[in-house]
Each structure stands twice: as C-alpha cells, then as structure tokens.
Structure 1
Amino acid sequence: MLTQSQLPQPDSNAQQLSQQLIANIKSQIQQQGGQLPFSAFMQAALYEPGLGYYSNSLRKFGAAGDFITAPEVSPLFSQCLAQQCQQIFAAIADKSAIILEFGAGSGIMAAELLKELANLNALPEQYWILELSAELRQRQRETLQTHIPTYLDRVQWLDHLPEQPFQGVILANEVLDTMPVEKFRIKAAGEFERACVSWQENQGFHWQWQTMPENLATQLQHGLSDVLSSLPEGYESEWNPALAHWLQSVAEILQHGLILLIDYGFPRHEYYHPQRDQGTLYCHYRHHSHGDPFLYPGLQDITAHVDFTAVAEAALDAGLDVCAYSNQADFLLACGLPERFALSDPDDVENHARLSKHIQTLTLPSEMGELFKVIALGKEIDIALQGFPREQRYRLG
C-alpha cells in the first residue's frame, strides 16, 4: 500500500484547504464524543461545502486530476450511450423527453451525448444536470460552450431533484461509488462492529471500532442475509444503507423511461466473497490508488465498489423494473462500438491506433470492460434494450 511519502506533494493552497477540512472533521468528532462513524467522515471528506473533495475548486478529472472516467477516455463511450437513449426516446414517443444526469463531472459526457443525439435526430427537449458543486457547474458550462454552443440552451442545472415526474432517461456514471458507506466487521454470529474515526494529535485520524447500533445491525443482517453465513469472524467490508432511499427518490421522479447506472462493482455473492475480507474501499489521488482514506482529506477521492444485487433489490422495492444488467464491454459492443471503429481509416495510423487503444481501455476485462457494470431500471419500458443482448440479470441472484 502506498504511503503519504510516496504520493505527489500537494501545493500550499491545497494543503491549506485540507487543513481546514481536517479542523472541521476534528470538530465533528469532538461533538460526537470522540468518535465519528466512518460514513460521516466520508460524507465530510467528499461533500463538506467548500472543502470536501466534490465541493472544492480543485481539479479532479482527466490527466491533470486524480482519475479518468470512461467519457473522458473517448467520445466513443458517449456515442454508444446515445444509441441506447435514442431507443428509449423512440419507445416513449414523446417530444418532451428529458435526460437527467447525476454528477456530470467535467461535462464531457453531456457534450458528446447531445452532439451524437443531434446526429441521430433524437435530441431531448431538455438536458438536466443535478450538480451541487459551483466549481464543477462552471467547468461543465465551459465544456458545453466549447463543444456544443448550439445546444447549450437545452441544458439546465438543478440544485435538487425535480418536483414533478418526467419522461426520459436518467443517467448516473460513477455516482454510486462515491456515496458514503458504513464500514463493518463481523465480530461473531449475528454481531457486528462499526468502523469509526477518532483523532489524536500524535497520530491524526485513526480507526476505532465500536459495537454497531442495534437498528443498524438489524438492517445489515437483513440486507446481507444471503451471504453472511459464509463469512468468517473478523471479515471487513462496506455496506451502503443510503442506497435504497436514494433509489426510491429517483424512482419517484421518473414517470416513464429508463435509469442507467454505470459503475464498478459486483453482484453480492462476488462483492462479499470470503476472500475479499478487507472490502473494496479505495482512494484516488493524482492517478495513484491506495487504501488510506485519512491521507489528504478533501484532496483525494474515496470510493467503494457497488453491490449491484442491492441496487436491483432497492429498485424493485421502489417500484422499478430491473430491465437488464451487463458489463460495460458487452453494453458498448451492442451499442455500435465495432461499427464506429470500422469507420476509422486504417491509413491514418495515428488516429486508428488511438481509437484502438481507447476501445481496449473501455472493453478489455483487465481494464474497464468487466469491472464496470451497467444496470437498466425502468418504468413502463417493455422492449428488448439494444445495449443488453447478453444481459446477465441471473448473476444478481
């Protein structure tokens, strides 16, 4: 595991921001009697207004940031996604269809998606972006102004979920993995410990384990009842108790259409495999990955993989249909990726090689092709979805 000395040194402004966030979290720990649940620490580290990773003004995406998402690897990703959106718009047959994107990052997916939908004569009436970060909103606006100034008037930024249900498509690419999670440890049959965070001046933030509150332990026992019996004492992992509420809220605003959630993760039996006994919690800083969430608070991303079985269960409870599930590679291949590569001129060696490399990154099992999954959740959608000819819902059981 990387140590702080092995990571790039942040500049003085970034260090000052991190120190402000540390002081804020220390105050929260003191108010809670010396221990803060890890989920609350993660919430502050990522979303504390003005200071948290996704709320401050520091660059996060792309080569100059901390990580690269699929839309930034290549416009091919968004072009393929547009094919699936077009099919849904045709099924809805309503010219007032809308796209809602959660957390649009740099804005490049929205830009490339709208550009391709225009080529397909399938532009949505509006493109909503739910984004709480003022800095990211500005960056998204600049990206859209640069790439698609003609369609910028269709884009609207939201502070909260729309009040009235709408018809269309809801997109969330690498959103679920940044939701704060509970970190737990199995103590004995039916007993769990909850990871908390404490502070000492001589060692900074550090882990403390406490008996999990009874109501939370009951939720965990119920949510993971099909795998807990196979896990040994001392097993550590994460769990997202907020997922069900989030999906319920999203389901309530969709009148007719499709929700596409794209993220890295596993079905439950793979996520909570006995050999994955330290969980999936990971951090990303300047394109370095490591497992210490206490390094540079506010300057690094903190993530946990997604339990897609939990997503499917929460969707059903929220009144959604689980329409399809697949890996990213199969989804992109079914949405026209090979055909797009075939349009590339092999005599243009540099461009052809670049496209080939991008496709490998998006689809190879050793890259993003297998780890990243796509799950489609719908309301009143009764068609065979283009992106899922080899859909794998059976794996979620």
Structure 2
Amino acid sequence: MNQNAHEPASLPVPAADALAASADLAARIRDEIATAGGWLPFDRYMELALYTPGLGYYSGGARKFGRRAEDGSDFVTAPELSPLFAQTLARPLAQALQASGTRELMEFGAGTGRLAAGILSALDALGVSLDSYAIVDLSGELRERQRETIEALGGELASRVRWLDALPERFEGIVIGNEVLDAMPVQLYARTGGIWHARGVAVGEAGAFRFEARALDAPAVQLTKEDAALFAELDAEIDPAIDYVAETHAAGAAFARTICAMLKRGAAFFIDYGFPRAEYYHPQRTQGTLMCHYRHRAHDDPFLYPGLQDITAHVEFTRIAEAGVETGADLLGYTSQARFLMNAGVTEVLSEIDPADASRFLPAANAVQKLLSEAEMGELFKVIAFSRGIDGTLDAFARGDRSHTL
C-alpha cells in the first residue's frame, strides 16, 4: 500500500513509529470494510479513525493540543490559548451551581487539563466550593497530561478531581463540553444530478481509501426520518441543478440527548464552532463543513494518516437544541462565544492584570482579542446550554441570546 497516497505536499510526514501505527489502523479499517461488503458509511469510518482503542486519534497517543506544529500538536483550543477563558467561564458556572443548588462539575474531553485546573482555581477564588470535578476522556495520553496539570494545583483542589470510565445514570451538577460535539462522527450525503446519495468509504487502488456513493435505499444506508425530511427541505430551497454535500449529526444529537437525560438538576454547557440549521445548510455552503487538522494546518482529506489527524465538522446547533429539549430539559441559552464571554465579564478579568506590566498584559489582551474577534473565535464559536431546576437565565445569556434562531 502507498501509505502517502493522499499526502498533501505541504504537510509534514509523521515519524516512522507514527506511520506504523497509522498503517495498523488503516489495515483494521480495510478489514472492516471488507467484512461489511466493501463499503462503510462515513460516520463509521470517522468513528474508527478517531476512537479505535489504542490507535484512533483521540484514543491513541498522538499529541493533539498545543500552540505550534513544532511541538507535535495539531490545533489550539480556547483553554490552551489563555487562562482567562477558564477564569471567565467559571463565573457563569458559579452562578449555575448556586442557582441549581448543586456542588459537582463534570467535563467531557478535558484536553490537557488546563480548563479543569483553571475552573477549579477560579471557583475557589470566587468562594465556590465543589464536592467533586469529574472528567470523562477516552484518551489515555490526555488523561496522563490532565493528571500532571491538575496535580500542579496541589492539595485540596487536586483531590476533588476524579476520572470516570462510564456515565452515571443520573447527575446533579454542571456539565461542560468544550469542543466535544465537533469530534462526534457525522454522516455524509451528496446530491448529484438532483439525486441524494449516502457518501461512504471503500478501498481503491493500492489499498487507498476513497469516497463511494450508495443509494439512500441501499441495505448499508440507515437513513433517519430527520435526514429524509432535511433533504426534502433542501430540495425545495436549493436549485436541484446545484450539486450539494452535507453532514448530518445523529451522534452529536444522541450525545446531547444522553447528557440532558442524565442531568436531573443543574446545567450543561457546550462550546463549539457551528451554526443554526438555516445557516448550516445555506445554499452557498455546497461542500459541507468537514475538515481535518494536522500540525496546525487545515485540509479536506479525511483519509490522510488515519489516527494521526483530527477529523471534524461544524456543529448544527438546531439539532443539538432539539435533542436536549426532547428530554424535557430547558434551553438555557444560545449565543456567540464573544457575547457569552463579554456578558460573563472577560474584560473585568483582563482588567485584573496591571496594564503597566506589559509582559503579562499584552499577551493576555491579544488572547482575549482572539477569543472575541469575529475574524477569530468570537463569532464562529457558539455556546449552548440546557438546564433543569434553574429559574430564568444566567447573566452570560442575558444579552444577545440567539435561541430564536435555532
């Protein structure tokens, strides 16, 4: 097999051991494709590439979070960008804890642990006491980094953190998921010549993976009623002569549904990049949003280096909102990251740094600019929250709430 059959010339080549692990994962995926009759739905391929135990991108040992390609990382998240993100987020979390009368936090996909450490420290500074901070993360490599980060807190704060291998049947407290929904496997569909097909994965020449379309009524295609209704709406809105690619989000919706059903009292916050349905399936978004990240470079080839690169899609927040509300949870709010952080007092947090101390203040101000700017993370990223047992809303959603757009 030509391991680099899909290799973009501008991307660095992984080390030999990483390539060997990727080759092992590719072999497993090819075996599953063969067992399935030569074709896998794309969401199953994405699940295998990201979560195969020991080899997948998130379940293996590949470094993910960092600031530069030179450190072996692929992308940077808001908690890695600045500690002010966690310090600001702690404020609405504290309000939600108080409003719900709960004392526990649970974080999904905790990255390097910086968000957890920052929230724990900020809540302590605000005088908010927690009984526990639970982390759910599939990556053994990241769990170790999380432990190192949190142990640096020392003493009582670090002792409150525990790692979960399974979800509790019920939870009373606050749930946090920062850039979790975008890592959920998505279904891919393509309309060509006015006809919708499921886009899946087959094996081509020299064992390379390739896209292959299947009719919606094919045995391997599991078309939901929601997706069928979506395609009918798109056909009515978009000229059938225009070819169109779209992702749908059954896994993300199922995750939101599970979390909101588990939540008996408290709130669940999800922060991610994406759009409400009307914007997500815009007539001009003809190629969908699927994207890959490798060494801080974005590209569109999900078959490059399986297990070594991130595969992601923007979140369709309307479907997430519907899934949460179906469980009986309340939609607490939905807004841009910029509005959420400004409402939560990010400028007040920044003002606690002396402007005269340029070595501290200027990097912090630059980071806040990236968190808030429409050209950076401020508009593309959204915050959606669900609640049970909280009357009214939170200050972070008091102005600029966009729930009406969902």
TM-score tier after normalising by the smaller chain length:
over 0.9
In structure 1, the gaps of 5 or more residues are none
The change in CA–CA distance for 1:217 and 1:157 in structure 2 (over 3 A counts) is closer
- Residue 219 of structure 1 and its aligned partner are, at CA, apart by 3.3
Q: What is the aligned counterpart of 2:237 among 222, 230, 233?
A: 230
After superposition, the C-alpha distances for 1:216-266 in whole angstroms (9 at most, x for unaligned) are 153312356654521344211100122332222112221111110100000
The aligned residue for residue 220 of structure 1 is 227
The aligned residue for residue 113 of structure 2 is 107
- Residue 149 of structure 1 and its aligned partner are, at CA, apart by 4.4
Bigger shift: 216-225 or 34-43? 216-225
Checking the alignment, whether the CA contact within 8 Å between 1:328 and 1:370 is kept in structure 2 is: yes
- Residue 203 of structure 1 and its aligned partner are, at CA, apart by 6.5
Q: What is the aligned counterpart of 1:8 among 4, 9, 12?
A: 12
Counterpart check, 1:175 vs 2:185:
no
- Take 1:266 and 1:109, find their aligned partners in 2: how far apart are those partners? 24
The aligned residue for residue 390 of structure 1 is 400
Counterpart check, 1:322 vs 2:331:
yes
Counterpart check, 1:310 vs 2:319:
yes
- Take 1:19 and 1:232, find their aligned partners in 2: how far apart are those partners? 42
Counterpart check, 1:254 vs 2:255:
no
After superposition, the C-alpha distances for 1:100-143 in whole angstroms (9 at most, x for unaligned) are 11111111100000010011111321111111222211111111
The aligned residue for residue 284 of structure 1 is 293
Aligned residues: 391
After superposition, the C-alpha distances for 1:166-207 in whole angstroms (9 at most, x for unaligned) are 221111100000000000012576x52011111124361111
**What is the TM-score when the length of structure 1 is the normalising length?**
0.94
The aligned residue for residue 138 of structure 1 is 144
Bigger shift: 166-175 or 145-154? 145-154
Runs of 4+ with >4 A deviation: 223-228
Matched residue SS, 1:202: helix
Matched residue SS, 1:6: coil
Q: Which amino acid aligns with 1:243?
A: G
Matched residue SS, 1:4: coil
Alignment of 1:19-58 (within 5 A): 19-58=23-62
**What is the TM-score when the length of structure 2 is the normalising length?**
0.92
Bigger shift: 115-124 or 209-218? 209-218
Counterpart check, 1:78 vs 2:82:
no
Matched residue SS, 2:129: coil
Q: Which amino acid aligns with 2:160?
A: R
The aligned residue for residue 154 of structure 1 is 160
- Take 2:249 and 2:154, find their aligned partners in 1: how far apart are those partners? 37
Matched residue SS, 2:371: helix
Bigger shift: 262-271 or 311-320? 311-320
- Take 2:313 and 2:56, find their aligned partners in 1: how far apart are those partners? 17
- Take 1:83 and 1:41, find their aligned partners in 2: how far apart are those partners? 39
- Take 1:251 and 1:217, find their aligned partners in 2: how far apart are those partners? 21
- Take 2:115 and 2:232, find their aligned partners in 1: how far apart are those partners? 38
Bigger shift: 380-389 or 220-229? 220-229
- Residue 293 of structure 1 and its aligned partner are, at CA, apart by 0.3
Checking the alignment, whether the CA contact within 8 Å between 1:99 and 1:126 is kept in structure 2 is: yes
- Take 1:110 and 1:217, find their aligned partners in 2: how far apart are those partners? 37
After superposition, the C-alpha distances for 1:261-288 in whole angstroms (9 at most, x for unaligned) are 1000001111100110000000000100
After superposition, the C-alpha distances for 1:322-346 in whole angstroms (9 at most, x for unaligned) are 1111000111111111112222222
The aligned residue for residue 355 of structure 1 is 364
- Residue 380 of structure 1 and its aligned partner are, at CA, apart by 1.9
Bigger shift: 206-215 or 345-354? 206-215
Aligned residues: CA RMSD: 1.7
The change in CA–CA distance for 1:318 and 1:227 in structure 2 (over 3 A counts) is farther
Q: Which amino acid aligns with 1:93?
A: G
Q: What is the aligned counterpart of 1:205 among 184, 209, 220?
A: 209
Counterpart check, 1:242 vs 2:251:
yes
The aligned residue for residue 377 of structure 1 is 386
Q: What is the aligned counterpart of 1:124 among 130, 133, 156?
A: 130
- Take 2:99 and 2:355, find their aligned partners in 1: how far apart are those partners? 37
- Take 1:219 and 1:194, find their aligned partners in 2: how far apart are those partners? 14
- Take 1:247 and 1:193, find their aligned partners in 2: how far apart are those partners? 27
